[in-house]
Structure 1
Amino acid sequence: MNQTFDGFDRTPYLAAFQAGKTSLMMVNVHLFFGSESARDMNRRALETFAVAKWARARQKSKFSFARNVFAMGDFNIPKKKAGDPVFDALTKLGLELPAHSSEIGSNLSSDKHYDQIAYFPGESKNLISSAVGIFDFDGAIFPTLWKDGNNVKNFRAYLRYYISDHRPMWIQLRPA
């Protein structure tokens, strides 16, 4: 299927930080989901590859503020393994995805891992401690709804409306 990348559905957000002699650049995305059709999956993969290409260009540029680049957010990856078109698009240029230290999924049903934090091998990878995961906020937010185990549907609807339909990701970095 021939499709071209026509731009992002939602513009990625960029932040750069410096701590001591270490500088970091982080891009946060919420990429296209659409459906499971071949056309929509290809569009998802094109957006994902655009993020990976941008990250690689920043990492390699001598004019970049930071070469420690982290791409993170909702990539809408159906399966976190080789052979999945979105996963392959994200990792094709060298980005790696750490294993999560938490077992919970990033969506409210806990059955998907759409959200990821990706980095390039080398210094960026060395900045990551062994802790990366998804924050399970279910019992901490709207505890009255959470305690009513018969009301999971209402709890998820409440979260989706007032907070998000995804749980937050976190990563622990060590000093360089």
Structure 2
Amino acid sequence: MATPLDLLFKTPGNAPLDGNVPAGVVEEMRAYSAYLDTVVPPKRDVDRNILIATWNIAHFRSLTRKWSVPASSEDSPKRDYRSLWAIAEIVSRFDVVAVQEVGAGFEALRALMDVLGSKWSFLMTDRNEGQAGNNEHIAFLFDSSRVSLSGLAGELVIPDDASKYGFTEGSFKRQFARNPYAVSFRTRDTTFILVTAHIDYGNEDTQRLPELRAIARWMQDWAARENRWHHNLIALGDFNLERIGNKLYEAFVETGLEVPFVLQSHPRTIYARASEPEKDSYHDQIAWFSKGRAKLIDLELADGGIVETWGRLLVDLGLTKASFSVRISDHFPLWVEFRPSQDSSISA
């Protein structure tokens, strides 16, 4: 039976070790695709909508070349072709996806790009070494048939004199544990700069809080500057925030960054309580400035939300949430849909 992974299997050595795709996997993906049709808007003409997402795909490193690894299997890693199919199905629904926790080796990333096909491209940071960096990369995956690079790509670097960002001497480390990554994209009528980050999950006061303050203040300065060139600046990623009202969240929004209302009540991870989705594990965010010189130009928010994975995928395996997280992720994809203004124009 044909599957999207057949593109991957054309490369010798990638064929599944456990034979043909099980009928149950096909049925699961048919049902999941139908679910995605109900929650993610379709890709319309690019002058009608732009779909942007962020997803921490936990430990996105390697794969086991089997369709389905049972819960009790000794196979390692646990992420298999069944999980890869689900990940590819989600990513393919968007124009640009910021991905955190891409691991060294790139087996899973390379396989995902094969499945997505030749119209998809990616840009990625260098490896973040050290204990806090966890040898991770941050990447942007994008549908090049709908968006293209407009020329800017780079990591956020804080100057040696961090007093500009409100810090006393020694209150901020020499650099981020995982430097935020900024890339500029363009459609026919719109240019936007996405800044993705995976903030250090260390001590709140000495590690997380300084990084959050630094990125918020840096973005405020840069957004106001880039606005004059008709560029929109949007922050997205895993900011390791806690619930609204927490000092980490307040540091993130104190310069005017706003998380849109349509995203505020959605749980960010599979561990969040459905009854109180804003409380624990409120890590992932998409935010921008809506006022002043740094506000978005010619982009109107149309919709947004999460993509559910827990409870819809791999259900028959009877997995714990911890086991599910290493196969799919413990984070939900978070997304927004923008509608470009009809009178927008591009500046170089």
2:192 corresponding residue in structure 1:
24
User: Cα–Cα, structure 1 residues 61 and 15, in superposed 2: closer, same or farther, change >3 Å?
Assistant: same
2:288 corresponding residue in structure 1:
119
Unpaired runs of 5+ residues, structure 2, are: 1-167, 274-279, 342-348
Alignment deviations for residues 47-66 of structure 1 (CA, whole Å, 9 cap, x no partner): 11111122112212259866
* Worse-matched range after superposition: 98-107 or 111-120: 98-107
User: Cα–Cα, structure 1 residues 4 and 60, in superposed 2: closer, same or farther, change >3 Å?
Assistant: same
Query: CA separation in 1, counterparts of 2:217 and 2:184?
Result: 18
Say whether the 8 Å CA contact 1:99–1:132 is kept in structure 2.
Answer: no
Q: Does 1:4 align with 2:166?
A: no
Task: Compute the TM-score of the two structures, normalised by the length of structure 2.
Answer: 0.42
1:89 corresponding residue in structure 2:
251
1:138 corresponding residue in structure 2:
310
2:104 corresponding residue in structure 1:
none
Amino acid at match of 1:115: D
Alignment deviations for residues 61-82 of structure 1 (CA, whole Å, 9 cap, x no partner): 259866311111111111123x
Q: Does 1:47 align with 2:211?
A: yes
Query: CA separation in 2, counterparts of 1:125 and 1:107?
Result: 31
Query: CA separation in 1, counterparts of 2:200 and 2:332?
Result: 18
SS at match of 2:213: helix
Amino acid at match of 1:162: R
1:133: how far off?
A: 1.7
User: Cα–Cα, structure 1 residues 94 and 63, in superposed 2: closer, same or farther, change >3 Å?
Assistant: closer
2:111 corresponding residue in structure 1:
none
Amino acid at match of 2:309: F
Task: Compute the TM-score of the two structures, normalised by the length of structure 1.
Answer: 0.77
1:144: how far off?
A: 2.1
* Worse-matched range after superposition: 154-163 or 123-132: 123-132
User: Cα–Cα, structure 1 residues 166 and 62, in superposed 2: closer, same or farther, change >3 Å?
Assistant: closer
2:338 corresponding residue in structure 1:
173
Say whether the 8 Å CA contact 1:69–1:119 is kept in structure 2.
Answer: yes
Say whether the 8 Å CA contact 2:300–2:340 is kept in structure 1.
Answer: no
Say whether the 8 Å CA contact 2:226–2:232 is kept in structure 1.
Answer: no
Q: Does 1:157 align with 2:326?
A: no
The total of aligned residue pairs comes to 161
1:37 corresponding residue in structure 2:
none
1:168: how far off?
A: 1.0
1:98 corresponding residue in structure 2:
260
Structure whose CA Rg is larger: 2
Query: CA separation in 1, counterparts of 2:330 and 2:223?
Result: 31
Query: CA separation in 1, counterparts of 2:283 and 2:241?
Result: 5
Query: CA separation in 1, counterparts of 2:312 and 2:243?
Result: 28
1:155: how far off?
A: 4.0
Query: CA separation in 2, counterparts of 1:119 and 1:94?
Result: 8
Query: CA separation in 1, counterparts of 2:297 and 2:315?
Result: 36
Say whether the 8 Å CA contact 1:96–1:118 is kept in structure 2.
Answer: yes
SS at match of 1:59: helix
1:159: how far off?
A: 2.9
Unpaired runs of 5+ residues, structure 1, are: 35-39, 146-150
Alignment deviations for residues 78-128 of structure 1 (CA, whole Å, 9 cap, x no partner): 1123xx221121112111111235854111112332111110014528724
Query: CA separation in 2, counterparts of 1:19 and 1:33?
Result: 35
Q: Please state which structure has a larger fraction of its residues in helix.
A: 1
